[in-house]
Chains A and B, each alone.
Chain A
Amino acid sequence: MPMEDTKTLLKEMISVAGLSGHEAPIRQILERAWQPLTDELHTGRLGSLHARKHGLGKGPRPSLALVTHMDAIGLIVTKVNEAGLLHLDQIGGIDARVLPGQLVTIHTRTGDLPGLVVLPAAHTLPDDAASSAPTLPNLRVDTGLRPAAARRQIQVGDLVSFASQPLELDGDLLAGHSLDNRACVAVAHETLRLLQSRKHSWDVWAIATVQEEATLFGALTSGYALRPTLAVVIDVTFAKSPGTPGHKTYDLNKGPTLDWGSNTHPKLLAELQTLARKLEIPFQDAVYAGGHSGTDAHFMQVAGEGIPTAILSIPLRYMHTPVELIQMKDIERAGRLLAEFITALDDTFMDKLQLDDAANGEAQS
């Protein structure tokens, strides 16, 4: 089963750290995975991976970029205290409520160490802390090392990542850390894989961006460097789980969402919807609030002279926890839709995205 390749890669991807700003471990996996699927591969100045598959059209060819961030949320050591316990700050937005009891890995200068996130005894905490959800300033990591050894081996600024292993659940579900956004890197991979046996005239950039969870600077700088003609940002969205409000969440296993909002080029979105309907690939309509999609699209859209951008999202449960959960089928559907979309791009496609109605002859009527 060809999709198995993508699943195997995804499980490997969610078994490494690669926190925002420190993406080398995940980039190395993707260099190896994308090298045989693409014609050019290089690393951008901030560490984003740029892989290009050439189209069959005459040069200079237009290009579509698949933009997926590869960085993950995590923790960083801010202090090693007298007892040898570690104080923490977050990289990206961590849901601290789920941290106590988690197994973590501390990435020190001299190698990785195992550790546990612990909640100090209630009497040592502020008065209201015992009865409420724990907050990051009240959590510590215990490595079991004696204080002197901890202070010798661990430094301020060392990264702390989740140690949870990938977990396959019945019904083709996959759980683990960093599925935000490596499930979507898997979509880009699946798309590249499908394109191997197809003819397409446009170039395709697969961009694995850095720092999405922190600054969005990967998308901003790669957009500036590569200037793709079009971009489709692939990220995760909130899936329904028991107790979640229906109007803010989407179903697992009913396809990716195609997202409305001001980071989205309306005509590019419409083209994606039309194709999905034609091919009977299920998708869900989603709307992001406040004009900011909270994804790489926010900066990709305004990179250089501006890039028409669409957002495709994979529904995911328990976002920003070590037990994020997705449905593999949604990845497969998203990959198929994008591969079909790229295959259909031709010389006249950009005319369909014209926003100037006067140029379309519509304003005169």
Chain B
Amino acid sequence: MKDIIRQLVETTGPSGYENEVRAVVQKMLKGQVDSMKVDALGNLITRKGQKGQDGLTIMLSAHLDEIGIIATHIDERGFVRFTSVGGVHPRNAVGGRVRFLKTGQVGVIGMEPNQSATSVHGLDKMYIDMGASRRADVKVSVGDVAAFDRPFEDLGQRLVSKAMDDRIGVAILVETMKQLKATPHEVVGVFSTQEEVGIRGATTAAYGVDPDLGIALDVTLTGDTPQAATMEVALGNGPAIKVKDSGMISDPRVVAWMEAGAKRARLPYQLEVLSGGTTDARGIQMARAGVPVGCLSIPCRYVHTPSEMVDYGDVQNSVKLLLALLSKPVKLA
């Protein structure tokens, strides 16, 4: 599975520009699912299984997009000014490298002089240096998007890269759709767009799919680093079953079903309350007359930096848990 993860995280796809990532997923799932289509907002909607007598339409959602930047101005000397696409924190940007989607070119992020060694400027006082000495040599136009550029590192049990948020969820969904054999459900695997800019893809995908049950697959924060904010989730303790985040309250019936499934399959899991941030589950829950939802979270350190870290065991256990859950009829208490 590490090859799948490497391929996904090393592809560039900021919100709204998910084409290349989507093409990678389409290739991975070719011949592995019953159907695949791309909807109006670019969501890749894959289906497997028939809704039997005890079955439901279950939507799983992992977002294709990653945070990135968009060029706003190029000056005479070729320095590119930019703003963020999704939640890019200035302190994670300085010294970073970005790769432009259109040309594949890399630039480095510099910052206007700052007397303080402990604070950073906002993004408006940063620029991208493309290594050019004049504007004519820069092949970047206003509106071009780029994502952070950082290679995949396999540390053994732990994996590090940019865009683990949420390519790790994408990898888990790809693997789940591939391995899923007998299911009483119609399983709809949605690879959604524009999550980082307001859960826009999953919201419309859920309206279109009209599922009976929804589960988002996304990363969550951890409390297992020095002086971390209080949170019991830790890397390596298993996938996290979300109870609540700041934009969504999981349906208690879905939480109970997921926990029971993990216990039955003897898989490790953690319960998660996340104080800041939300996922595609929010978009699914609000669709039409409402959808019972939950979220399977992959614990991840350093979220929204170019070095997001996950535990490989958590990743493998996520696939196992999803397969266990999807292979049996669902009775929501």
Which A residues are closer than 8 A to B by beta carbons? 20-22, 44-46, 76-80, 87, 89, 91, 137, 155-157, 211, 214-215, 217-218, 220-222, 224-225
Is A215 touching B248 in the complex (CB atoms < 8 A)? yes
CB distance A156 to B291 under 8 Å?
no
Contact with A along B199-234 (1 / 0, CB 8 A): 000000000000000000000000100000111100
Q: Contact partner of B249 among A215, A220, A222, CB < 8 A?
A: A215
Which of B52-60, B91-99, B269-277 is the interface stretch? B269-277
Measured between C-beta atoms, what is the minimum distance from B290 to chain A in Å? 3
Task: Give bound CA distance, A46 to B252, whole Å.
Answer: 10
Q: Which residues of A contact B40 (CB under 8 A)?
A: none
Are B232 and A221 in contact (CB-based, < 8 A)? no
- Interface residue? B180 (CB, 8 A): no
Inter-chain contacts of A46 with B (CB < 8 A): 251, 285, 290, 292
Given contacts A46-B292, A221-B290, contact A215 B231 (CB under 8 A): no
Q: Which residue of B has the minimal Cβ distance to A23? A: B252
Contacts of B270 in A (CB 8 A): 156
- A155 to B271, Cβ gap below 8 A? yes
Chain A residues near B273: list those with CB within 8 A.
76-78, 89, 156-157
Chain A nearest CB from B171 CB (Å) reads 26
A156 proximity list for chain B (CB < 8 A)? 232, 243, 270-273
Q: Looking at the assembled complex, report how far the CB atom of A88 sits from the nearest CB atom of chain B, in whole angstroms.
A: 9
Q: How far is the CB of B91 from chain A (nearest CB, A)?
A: 21
User: Which 6 pairs, one residue from A and one from B, show the smallest C-beta to C-beta distance?
Assistant: A21-B249, A221-B290, A157-B243, A225-B289, A46-B290, A45-B290
- Please, which residues of chain B bring their CB within 8 A of the CB of A157? 243-244, 255, 271-273
Give the docked Cα–Cα distance between A22 and B250 (Å): 9
How would you classify the secondary structure of chain B's contact residues: helix, strand, loop or mixed?
loop
Contact residues of A: prevailing secondary structure: mixed
The answer to whether A217 touches B285, judged by C-beta atoms less than 8 angstroms apart, is yes
Contacts A89-B273, A89-B275, A211-B249: A220 and B286 contacting too (C-beta < 8 A)? yes
Assess the B249–A45 pair: CB atoms within 8 A: no
Residues from chain A with a CB closer than 8 A to the CB of B288 are 221, 224-225
Flag B4-25 by CB within 8 Å of A: 1 or 0 each: 0000000000000000000000
Chain B nearest CB from A206 CB (Å) reads 18
What total count of A-B pairs have CB within 8 Å? 79
Neighbouring B residues of A44 by C-beta, 8 Å: 289-290
Interface check B247, CB cutoff 8 A:
yes
Kindly provide the distance from the CB of A117 to the nearest chain B CB, expressed in whole angstroms: 16
A45–B244 CB distance below 8 A: no
Interface size on B, residues (CB 8 A): 27
Given contacts A21-B249, A21-B250, A46-B292, contact A215 B286 (CB under 8 A): yes
Residue of chain A at shortest CB distance from B229 = A137
Expressed in whole angstroms, the Cα–Cα distance for A77 and B272 within the complex equals 10
A217 and B243 in contact, given A76-B273, A78-B273 (Cβ under 8 angstroms)? no
Judged by a CB distance under 8 angstroms, whether B282 is at the interface is yes
- Say whether, besides A45-B291, A157-B243, A157-B273, A21 and B286 are in contact (CB < 8 Å): no
Q: Is the CB of B290 within 8 A of A217?
A: yes
By beta carbon, the residue of chain A nearest B250 is A21
A52 CB, min distance to chain B CBs, angstroms: 16
Task: Return A137 CB to nearest CB of chain B, in Å.
Answer: 7
Could you write out 6 A-B pairs with CB less than 8 Å apart?
A76-B243, A79-B230, A80-B232, A157-B272, A217-B286, A225-B288
User: CB-CB < 8 A to A225: which residues of B?
Assistant: 288-290
- Residues on B with C-beta less than 8 A from A224 are 288-290
Residues A78 and B289 in contact, CB atoms below 8 Å apart: no
A134 to chain B, nearest CB (A): 15
Contacts of B286 in A (CB 8 A): 215, 217, 220-221
Q: Is the CB of B244 within 8 A of A91?
A: yes
Q: How far apart are A352's CB and chain B's nearest CB, in angstroms?
A: 30
Contact with A along B250-290 (1 / 0, CB 8 A): 11100100000000000000111101000000100110111
Residues of A within 8 A of B272 (CB): 156-157
Min CB distance, A41 to chain B, in Å? 16
Least CB distance from B248 to A in Å reads: 7
Measured CB to CB, the closest approach of chain A to B205, in angstroms, equals: 17
CB-CB under 8 A for A21 and B291, given A79-B232, A156-B232, A215-B286: no
Please indicate which of the listed interface residues A77, A157, A221, A222 has the most CB atoms of chain B within 10 Å of its own CB: A157
Which residues on the A side are within 8 Å of B247 (C-beta)? 215
**Cα-based distance from A80 to B248 in the complex (angstroms):** 22
Known pairs A79-B223, A221-B290 / 16 extra A-B pairs, C-beta < 8 Å: A21-B244, A21-B249, A22-B252, A46-B290, A46-B292, A76-B273, A78-B230, A91-B244, A137-B229, A137-B230, A156-B243, A156-B270, A220-B286, A220-B290, A225-B288, A225-B290
A76 to B231, CA, bound (A): 12
Residues of B within 8 A of A79 (CB): 223, 230-232
A220, closest chain B residue (CB): B286
Q: Quick one: which of A76, A156, A222 has the most chain B CB within 10 A? A: A156
Q: A155 — which chain B residues lie within 8 A by C-beta?
A: 271
Kindly list chain B residues whose C-beta atoms are within 8 Å of the C-beta of A78. Answer: 230-232, 273, 275
Cβ contacts under 8 Å, B252 to chain A: 21-22
Residues of A within 8 A of B249 (CB): 20-22, 91, 211, 214-215
What separation, in Å, do the CA atoms of A5 and B250 have in the docked complex?
35
Task: Give the docked Cα–Cα distance between A89 and B231 (Å).
Answer: 10
- Give CA–CA (A284, B271) in the complex, Å: 46
Measured CA separation A224–B244 after assembly (Å): 24
- A23 to B22 alpha-carbon distance, docked (Å): 39
Which residues of the other chain, A, contact B251 by a CB distance below 8 angstroms? 21, 46
Residues of A within 8 A of B289 (CB): 44-45, 221-222, 224-225
Contact B230 A76 (CB under 8 A): no
